[in-house]
Each structure stands twice: as structure tokens, then as C-alpha cells.
Amino acid sequence: MSPDDAIIVTDRLGRCFGTLEAVSDLTMTIERGKVFGFLGPNGAGKTTTIKMLCGLLLPTSGHATVAGLAVGAERERIKHRTGYMAQVFALYPDLTVEENFRFFAGAYGVYGRAATRRMDALFEQIDLSTLRRTPAGALSGGMKQRLALACALVHEPELVFLDEPTAGVDPASRQRLWDFLYALCETGTSLFVTTHYLDEAERCHAVGFMLDGRLIARGEPAVMRERLHDRLVGIEVRRAVEAMRVLRELPGIEDVTIHGNELRVRFDEVVAWPAIETRLRQAADDAGLVLDRVYLRAPTLEDLFLHFEHQGARER
């Protein structure tokens, strides 16, 4: 990828808080005009990374460029080229929807008719037009998220950081928000999204996994899932909790998780089929259990997420 194609480039970027290393040796390149999903458990360093990249927090090591501007030296210019939608609702609850928007417009130097035109266009796109005079604090969770997104887009940024943009939002509102995000991408806006919804991560053009402040994997979702190809087996069983405990004790099994009446068995290495089915059924039979159905299962990003977290726990 050429430098002109990249919206973010980091080289050994890091941030310490005293003796705590929140982000360490972060090196990655993110393509312009795409949706990049940033994944990891709580405390993995995702929010700290975003705050460094959008100029809110100085790195303590390494360097990075955002929209061609150096993080640290050009923080103010970066703030005017990027938008940031925080994880928690950060607008003013006593101000109306329109007043909140105009306040943020002024903060970015957008006033008068220009602010009105931008507000009309955004509110029409995200269904806020009828709520202009409603106090922001009276909005539903989904509507608050839409208002926060509109305020982050007021100055038409090249890149928008969205920290858990659909947390606490119902499925229909999530879908509408993602439709709008894709429309933004088609006009050239780049998106950097953190999320705990792994089905949402599947929608991203590329994803990166953070664990303990380090980027441990990065790539397209379909390619990433191949890491668990032929290493995931599904089992339908009625006494799922008992079966989970028995199968977790078998050598070569990394972990077993319950999903309704289905167990997902994740192996350390690629399994030989159908020999592995015979082995699983025999172990269950020895424990007085009956496995109704055993089959190879296509892995999801959730399975990969759990795999990485399990590996991290073992290393710790």
C-alpha cells in the first residue's frame, strides 16, 4: 500500500501511564476509505489508541501519521481533519438536538448558513429532523448515538473514530447506523470503529485484535477466520454443561463453549475427520452422555476472539 492510500500509519506507537503500559509497539497501516474494526477485551488499549490517533493524548513512544499529519506535532490540525464519537454520551443533555449540533459546529469553525446546510443534510440522513427542539437528554439510546455521530461529522472529516458506536442500541437502530456508515465510506470517509459486537466486526473491510496493549493479529475477516479452519467442531447435546466439563478434560482441546444446545469445541491443531468424531463420542459415552450430532463448524470472528483471549490468558 502506498502512503497516499493510507489514512493511518503507526510505527511502534506506545503509551504508558506510570508503570502501566497501556499500548505497546503498535505498528499498522490502515487503508483510506474503508471501515477498520478494532477489537479486543476491556482494558486491551483500544480507547487509549484512539485518543492518541485523534490528538487527545500524546504517545510516550513511537510515532504515527493520521491523514498525512504527524501525531503529536500536528495535533490541532489532526483534530480538524478527524471526527471522534466517544464511547459514552458526551453531549449536553439540557440543550436541544439543534443546540448541541450548533455548539459543536462552532467548535470546528462552522457557522451560520454553512452550519444550517450541514445540519439539514445530516439530520435528514439519520432521521433527526423532527427532533431538533427535543432536549438531548430525553432522546432514546439510539437517537443519542445518531446525534453524537452527526456532531462528529459536522466539519466533514476525512476520518471518523467511533468508540463502541452501537453500545446499548436496539438491532434495528444498529442496522440503520451501519447503513449510514457504509454510505459515508462510499463518499470517501474512512472509519475506525471499536466494537464488542463480533457480528458487526464481520461488516468491516479489515479488523485488528488488541490484547494486553499489543496488536496480535490483523487482516480481512474472512482471511482471519481461516486461522481456525478445521479446528472447530460443533456438537448438539442435551446435557450441555456436563458434556462441556467432560470434553474440556480431553488432550488437544483448547476450550469448549456453550451456545444453547450446541457445544463448540476448539482444538489446538487441525483435526482429522472422522476420527475426531469417534474420539468425542467415545469420551461422552464413557461419561454416560449421548452426543446427538457432531460436525465440523465454520468459525466466526467470535470464535477467533475467544481463541486469542484464551491464548493470552495462558501466556499470562
DSSP notation for 87-156: SS--S-TTSBHHHHHHHHHHHTT--HHHHHHHHHHHHHHTT-GGGTTSBGGGS-HHHHHHHHHHHHTTT-
Question: Is residue 86 scored above 90 in pLDDT?
Answer: no
pLDDT tier for residue 3 given thresholds of 50, 70 and 90: low
C-alpha 153/C-alpha 70 separation (Å) is 22
Mean pLDDT, all residues of the chain = 92
Q: Is the confidence at residue 19, as pLDDT, over 80?
A: yes
Under the banding of pLDDT at 50, 70 and 90, the label for residue 292 is very high
| SS3 state of residue 53 | helix
Average pLDDT estimate for 108-130:
93
Average pLDDT of span 29-36: 95
Could you please state the CATH topology (level 3) that the domain comprising 3-221 is classified under. Answer: Rossmann fold (3.40.50)
Predicted pLDDT at 64: 96
- 163-208 confidence digits (pLDDT tens): 888 877 788 888 888 898 999 999 999 999 998 888 889 999 999 9
DSSP characters over 263-285:
EEEEESSPPPTTHHHHHHHHHHH
Span 25-50, average pLDDT: 94
More reliable by pLDDT, 89 or 181: 181
Residues 102-115 as b/e (b if ≥16 CB within 10 A, e otherwise) read bebbeebebeeeeb
Whole-number Å distance between alpha carbons of 294 and 262: 10
Quick check: 2 pLDDT over 60? no
Closest CA to 307 of 41, 43, 46: 41
Residue 10: its pLDDT value, please?
97
Longest dimension (CA), the chain: 76
Contact yes or no for 261/236 (Cβ under 8 A): yes
- Tell me the CA distances in angstroms from 316 to 50, 161, 313, one per residue in order: 25, 30, 5
Query: Residue 254: pLDDT above 90?
Result: yes
| CA separation for the pair 102, 305 (Å, rounded) | 40
With 90 as the cut, is the pLDDT of residue 88 above it? no
The domain spans of the chain are: 3-221, 230-298
Query: Is the pLDDT reported for residue 6 higher than 90?
Result: yes
Q: What is the mean pLDDT of residues 103-118?
A: 94
How far are the Cα atoms of 25, 67, 172 from residue 163, in angstroms, in the given order? 21, 19, 19
Per DSSP, 288 falls in state T
* Same fold? 3-221, 230-298: no
pLDDT at 102 over 70: yes
Q: Selecting from 2.40.30.110, 3.40.640.10, 3.40.605.10, 3.30.70.100, what CATH number does the domain 230-298 have?
A: 3.30.70.100
Which of these, 239, 303, 282, 234, lies nearest to 262 by C-alpha position? 234
pLDDT of 313 higher than 80:
no
pLDDT of residue 218 exceeding 90: yes
CB 114 within 8 A of CB 100: no
d(CA 312, CA 253): 16
